[in-house]
Amino acid sequence: MLQKGDNVVATLRKLSALDDLAILYPKNRLLILPLDVTVPSDITDAFVKARETFGRVDVVFNNAGICLISEVEGMPEGDAKHLFDTNFWGAANVTKEAVATFRDFNEPHGGHLLQMSSRTTLQVVPGAAHYAAAKAGIYVSLTFARDATYTVAIAFESLSEGYAAELGPAWNIKITVIQPARFRTAFPWRNVLVPIHPASRALFRRGHQQVCTADA
């Protein structure tokens, strides 16, 4: 995006990861901000600073996420909640701030929200069920969003497409859900492995094999 001439607001927890870009581009082209999506005030502050610096925000790439590898039964509740706080609620709060910015602050109105979902919403792989469930919360819903009873029943699966169904045409806001297959990043090596459940460990000892894979 920078090479194309766009201005960029880059948000991340470890600012040093972008030291190479910070050297190449001035702050009036590249604004690097600390952001933990599990802290709602961080999200609000980032959008405020982006608007103050560049006047508007045209595209938001909603990409923050973590992956914990574990069988469903063996996933500690606290770890599962942390995954959902990041992958679902973090993404939900970014979505809310993005829509508000596109509608209430951009002149003229409009913007494009890119929601990073996952192929695991289509085919869940062993070891990544909670990750897939959190990503599914970002993905599935618009078709039924006009049926209030059904929307409540599947509220967890209704975020992105539910938002899309509720957007006013005059706001000129587009939401795109991305379901990438695997591609080469460092993500798989940063996944957290939860200890194997004793029952599964017993299966392995009896010679059963099960491969756990993660989204790249």
List active site positions: 117, 131, 135
What does the angle CA 43 – CA 175 – CA 82 come to, to the nearest 5 degrees?
A: 40
CA distance from start to end of the chain: 22
Question: Residues near 51 by Cβ (< 8 Å), separated by ≥ 6?
Answer: 57, 101, 105
Structural tokens at position 107: 């002149």
Residue 32 DSSP label? E
How far, CA to CA in Å, does 212 sit from each of 22, 70, 97, 129?
37, 8, 35, 10
